[in-house]
Amino acid sequence: MVKKKFIGLIFLPIFLVSMLFPFNLKAKELFSRTAKNGLKEYLSEICQWVESNSVNSDNHSSMLMAAGLVRTLLAGFKLTGKKEEYRDIALEWCDLLSSQQHLVKTSQQNVGGLWLNGVNRGNLDLTESNLAAAALACGYKYANKERKKKYLQVLEHYGRFLVEGSLVNPLRTGLVGNNSWVIRKGVNRGAFGTGYVKGKASIMASTASTASGSLFFSQLYKITKNRAYKEQSVAALKWILNNRKATGEIPSFVEGKPLSKKSFEVISYCAEAFQGAHYLLNDKKMVRWLLTELDPTIRWLLRSQNNQGLWGLDVEERYSSGIVSLLAWFYLNAETDESIPSALEPAWQVWLHPVHSQSFGILMEKIPTGLVGLTIAEMIRPGSTYGR
């Protein structure tokens, strides 16, 4: 087990800053400079662990799960001294993902693209593909001219597939395709379909695919400045916010139906969509609207912590890192009270503890390591994991 180099009272600067500058939002800080240096060391440890635990794999499903690790490596390259091996491993993954894209003809007779190797018994969840494509878009910033040309082509092929669907079903020979994965009319306007279920296209709304789709189109807008991509991203956000419960809770819709239980995993996807819109769409008016709309959801999250100060039960707790990032982002950007910093402290007590962090899966499993890596990078420099 890798020994943690950074354990301490990291939240003390919060209260000092808030006492000195109670009305200056720009003065808000969650970590002192010393604490951020400690976090950089921790992020470097995570990147070193990723180096020794291959991100690239012939198994495409594993590649999709590695999207968080890739973004963590890119942020680690940017924030921990530009260690080229972090960037190079991430770009190798981007190269492999690009080479694996399966091309199709869309309903509009254009060239689209998707990834098929992650199909499991006829099921293909768009959420994973969206997150992988978003990681590829992050890699675009760090690529050379030749790679950028290839990555952009792959990204736009995938964007076309989402917007225009495909003439034929790529999973089952002889079945017709679908016109779009984006719902254009009615109460679910702006939502994304679930993906392929038992070999057939399910165009019924999915919160996870909608949130991850919004993040992807925000990334694509940042690269191309194509307003259609921005409009798609914002429409997806509006659907998510319009379908909340009165308490502010964001329910998880799967194939058009809300799950009966809370899903903090889907909140993690939504958190990335919200932050991505802020950092990538360059729209201050939209950000003000988003922060105002999110206030009830932030209150609900603060009321929903479990006894350990995390969110969810058992394996779902690993997605607490996305919620911590969301709460920290909201605290730093909205006019809000001072209850958020203390609510974040229990999570850091777990992640910075040599034993508890191992139990959480950090430096042990790819998914929690990647998720916490993203959160650490965001605490060091907000927006760094979005290619800002």
Residue 128 · residue 136 · CB < 8 Å: no
In the DSSP assignment, the letter for residue 362 is T
Separation of alpha carbons 380 and 33, rounded Å: 9
Residue 237 confidence (pLDDT): 98
Identify which of 350, 376, 378, 356 has the alpha carbon closest to the alpha carbon of residue 38. 376
Residue 126 · residue 209 · CB < 8 Å: yes
Residue 64 confidence (pLDDT): 58
Residue 298 · residue 336 · CB < 8 Å: yes
Residue 56 confidence (pLDDT): 67
Q: Which residues of 328-339 are buried (b: 16+ CB within 10 A; e: fewer)?
A: bbbbebbebeee
Residue 332 confidence (pLDDT): 94
Residue 194 · residue 255 · CB < 8 Å: yes
Q: What is the DSSP string of 40-94?
A: HHHHHHHHHHHHHS-S--SSHHHHHHTHHHHHHHHHHHHHTT--HHHHHHHHHHH
Residue 121 confidence (pLDDT): 72
Separation of alpha carbons 196 and 171, rounded Å: 8
Q: In tens digits, what is the pLDDT along the chain, a chain of 388 residues?
A: 444 444 443 443 333 333 333 333 344 788 888 999 999 999 999 999 999 988 765 554 565 578 999 999 999 999 998 899 999 999 999 999 999 999 999 999 999 999 987 677 778 889 999 999 999 999 999 999 999 999 999 999 999 999 999 999 998 877 889 999 999 999 999 999 999 988 889 999 999 999 999 999 999 999 999 999 999 999 999 999 999 999 999 999 999 999 988 789 999 999 999 999 999 999 999 999 999 999 999 999 999 999 999 999 888 899 999 999 999 999 999 987 688 999 999 999 999 998 999 999 999 999 899 999 999 999 999 999 998 7
* Domain boundaries 12-386, CATH class: mainly alpha
Residue 62 confidence (pLDDT): 65
Which residues lie below 8 Å from residue 258, measured CB to CB, with a gap of 6+? 251, 252
Residue 186 confidence (pLDDT): 94
Q: What angle do CA 276, 280, 284 make, to 5 degrees?
A: 100
78: how many CB neighbours lie within 10 A of its CB?
Answer: 20
Residue 261 confidence (pLDDT): 82
Residue with tokens 């190079």: 88
Tokens of 111: 């060239």
Exposure of 209 in the CB half-sphere (CA atoms within 13 A): 24
Residue 5 confidence (pLDDT): 44
Residue 290 confidence (pLDDT): 98
- Beta strands of 72-171 (E only): which ranges? 102-105, 111-114, 124-125, 166-168
Residue 14 confidence (pLDDT): 37
**Bridge partners, 105 (sequence order):** 111
* Cα dist from 291 to 2, 210, 252, 285, 331, whole Å: 38, 19, 21, 10, 10
Residue 387 confidence (pLDDT): 82
Q: Are strands 166-168 and 176-178 parallel, antiparallel or unpaired?
A: antiparallel
Residue 53 confidence (pLDDT): 87
Separation of alpha carbons 32 and 373, rounded Å: 19
Separation of alpha carbons 232 and 227, rounded Å: 9
Q: What type of residue is 289?
A: W
